[in-house]
Amino acid sequence: MKQPAEESAATAVLQQGPALRTFWWQAALVTVAVGYLYVPILARLSEDWWNDPDASHGFLVVPFSLFVAWRARRDWRSLPARPSWLGIPVVAGSLCLLMVGVLGAEYFLSRSSLIFLLAGLIIYFLGWPHFRALLFPWAFLFLMIPIPAIILNHITFPLQLLASRGASAVLELLGVPVLRQGNVMQLASTSLEVAEACSGIRSLLSLVTLAIIYGYFLESRFSRRALFAVCAVPIAVIANGLRVVGTGLLAYYWSPEKAEGFFHTFSGWLIFVLAMLLLFSLDSALRVVDRRLGKGKGP
């Protein structure tokens, strides 16, 4: 004869079966509808990742977000499902954002609407606890969307000026005469312009993305992960300034053609590797400080 606890457990399992089937049918229908709406947008986004060097880090974003959600599956699957009707306004707002983006040919809005739509669907079907559990991989998805041109222009030009100023100061310290006018540096034999492609925005966005991924795998503390993401910005700026300095030295001591040819392209990869090494060095230094502080707390 079954005990009352066993009977209630068996009843719960029987009741859970139809509920799970209904949920998966709804999820399948929603997936088809979302795919129908967003396949053209995602196809164009993938083209940007492939063709635009500033957005190539987008290929890492989605797999990493899915991995984080999968890795935390025990946490969010153990939460009780508490569907909330508040997800409907989020879904409706996302669809309105999609229409505005499509009609206005604003890619950032139409692409961002997909991420907000995912949030609304999670809240509607599963509830706020599940959304909070998936907040980090959800928020990380925004890094896959290229920055709008109007914002990018406001970021790029100050970075161009910063790189040209820093490079001019270092070149003068190294004995290279240079006259700077805005983002153009006049050397004895040629002039170097710190163009948009040399502003450092490419390495900045990529390095911030990699810094977040690096911090997730190697650090468990949120404060330390946030520190890596924040420090990635000045590291990328410094590394890009060194690239401009190297280009100026090549142009002055060798030839302008060599500085603007293969070595200029190769230096971009080399400086990005240098930025990654600086990030690793920061992590190593912080670990040394942690060990020394740990020893200092001992008897």
pLDDT tens digits, 104-126: 878 899 999 999 999 999 998 88
52 and 189 belong to one structural domain: no
Cβ(58)–Cβ(48) below 8 Å: yes
The set of residues, in sequence order, having a beta carbon less than 8 Å from that of 57 and lying 6+ positions away, is: 143, 205, 206, 209, 210
* 114 and 84 within one domain: yes
Q: What token pair was written down for 242? A: 């060194």
Residues 99 and 182 in one domain: no
Is the pLDDT assigned to residue 94 strictly greater than 70? yes
CB atoms within 10 A of CB 216: 18
- Please indicate, yes or no, whether residues 162 and 241 belong to a single structural domain of this protein: yes
125 and 219 both lie in a single domain: no
Which of residues 124, 144, 164 is at a domain's end? 144
Q: Which of 27-31, 128-132, 256-260 has the lowest mean pLDDT?
A: 256-260
Q: Which residue has the higher pLDDT, 76 or 117?
A: 117
Query: Domain residues for 162?
Result: 150-296
Q: pLDDT at residue 263 above 70?
A: no
Same domain, 112 and 176: no
- List the structure tokens of 103: 């009609």
Top mean-pLDDT range of 5-9, 227-231, 249-253: 227-231
Are 102 and 177 contained in the same domain?
no
Residue 140 has a pLDDT of 94
Token pair recorded at residue 41: 């947008």
Give the chain's domain count. Answer: 2
Of 144, 171, 188, which closes a domain?
Answer: 144
pLDDT above 50: residue 15: no
Residue 179 CB-half CA count within 13 A: 6
Across 240-260, average pLDDT: 72
pLDDT at 5 exceeding the cut of 50: no
Tokens standing for residue 168: 């001019």
32 and 73 share one domain: yes
By CB neighbour count within 10 A (0-12 exposed, 13-18 middle, 19+ buried), where does 289 fall? Answer: exposed
Do 159 and 274 lie in one domain? The reply is: yes
How much is the mean pLDDT over the chain?
A: 78
> In this predicted structure, what is the pLDDT of residue 4?
47
Q: How confident is the model at residue 255, as a pLDDT?
A: 65
